[in-house]
């Protein structure tokens, strides 16, 4: 019997940590459009040359760097997803994964026994919460939003293409962060207007991203808290990676609030990872659901579970589409 799957899992955290450390050292930023030897990088980073060479060669083995005659440079995938200034960068989320998620996952056993997130056990009484951590500093806020934008650009074009949204006049994305979903929607549907609705601390960053879109003249950014404040008028709302953060009582509150604001014929577009109906897969959704366990009060759900919550809020037809991207799509009609 082949032990390969077990050995691969034993090794998996090592590969992640190589990515985390190389990103935190700024190696992919340094090698964007440039080359360097290990000796040059060791001098710049004040690192042990032999140890750094092992790290760099590990990145070569992982396909993140190329090496020719002792000279290192980024591979194309590193230029797109690991260079901090790339529009599709995931570097912010990688740094968040190292500083927050990696420590939190060491307490997975406690989370399973207790059924709750592990912020206090991991970071102490002053550790705050997931969302407090996101916005604790300007740098961490921008890093996290850039990382989420990178994931968003992987998924949002497919989410807005999963259903024909051409009949709608406006889309308000609640908790829309950098606006990647309404940007994708407005760029696909020329008669649609888009709104990013998020906390005041997010608004300045969201406006920067929206301004770069070819549909910027049909988009706006509005500050607000979707739990405590009135929602803007719209015939289409969106919730992207929002519902998986919360337990059912808060989800019911938010879904009912959206339903009440929609006109007849309006709809709610949800972007989340969908578990198979019998919850046997996909594995990446299982991993994200465990991630929500250690970080939040939420979890990933099946389409029937979302449909039950949506119909309880008043929605009628509910349809789901698996996109093949990090996030799937659900459309619920009023």
Residue positions annotated with a catalytic role: 244
DSSP state string for 151-189:
HHHHHHHHHHHSS--TT-SEEEEET-TT-HHHHHHHHH-
The reply to whether omega before 30 is within 30° of 0 (cis) is no
What is the Cβ-side half-sphere exposure of residue 37, based on CA atoms within 13 angstroms?
6
Helix (H) or strand (E) holding 268: strand 267-272
DSSP state string for 91-118:
HHHHHHIIIIIHHHHTTHHHHHHHTS--
Q: Cα(73)–Cα(60) distance, rounded to whole angstroms?
A: 9
Output phi, psi for 269, to 5 deg: -105, 125
Look at residues 103, 44, 112, 114 and name the one whose alpha carbon lies nearest to residue 72. 44
> In the structure encoding, which two tokens stand for residue 126, read together?
């002053």
Q: Cα(216)–Cα(209) distance, rounded to whole angstroms?
A: 9
């Amino acid at each position: 019997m082949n032990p390969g799957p077990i050995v691969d899992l034993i090794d998996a955290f090592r590969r992640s940590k190589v990515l985390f450390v190389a990103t935190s050292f700024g190696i992919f930023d340094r090698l964007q459009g440039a080359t360097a030897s290990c000796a040059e990088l060791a001098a710049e980073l004040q690192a042990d040359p032999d140890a750094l060479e092992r790290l760099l060669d590990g990145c070569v083995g992982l396909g993140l760097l190329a090496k020719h005659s002792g000279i290192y440079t980024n591979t194309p995938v590193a230029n797109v997803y690991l260079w901090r200034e790339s529009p599709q960068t995931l570097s912010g989320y990688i740094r968040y994964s190292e500083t927050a998620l990696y420590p939190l996952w060491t307490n997975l056993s406690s989370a399973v026994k207790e059924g709750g997130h592990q912020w206090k056990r991991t970071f102490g009484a002053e550790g705050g919460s997931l969302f407090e951590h996101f916005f604790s500093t300007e740098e961490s806020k921008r890093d996290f939003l850039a990382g989420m934008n990178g994931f968003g650009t992987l998924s949002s074009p497919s989410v807005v293409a999963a259903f024909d949204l051409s009949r709608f006049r406006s889309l308000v994305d609640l908790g829309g962060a950098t606006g990647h979903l309404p940007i994708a929607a407005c760029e696909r549907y020329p008669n649609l207007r888009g709104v990013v609705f998020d906390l005041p601390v997010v608004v300045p960053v969201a406006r920067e991203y929206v301004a770069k879109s070819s549909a910027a003249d049909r988009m706006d950014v509005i500050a607000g808290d979707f739990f405590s404040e009135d929602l803007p008028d719209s015939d289409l709302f969106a919730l992207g990676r929002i519902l998986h953060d919360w337990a059912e009582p808060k989800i019911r509150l938010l879904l009912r609030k959206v339903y009440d604001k929609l006109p007849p014929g309006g709809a709610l577009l949800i972007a989340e990872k969908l578990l198979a109906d019998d919850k046997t897969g996909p594995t990446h959704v299982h991993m994200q659901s465990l991630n929500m366990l250690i970080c939040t009060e939420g979890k990933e759900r099946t389409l029937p579970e979302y449909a039950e919550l949506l119909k309880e809020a008043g929605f009628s037809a509910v349809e789901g589409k698996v996109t093949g991207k990090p996030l799937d799509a659900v459309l619920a009609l009023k």
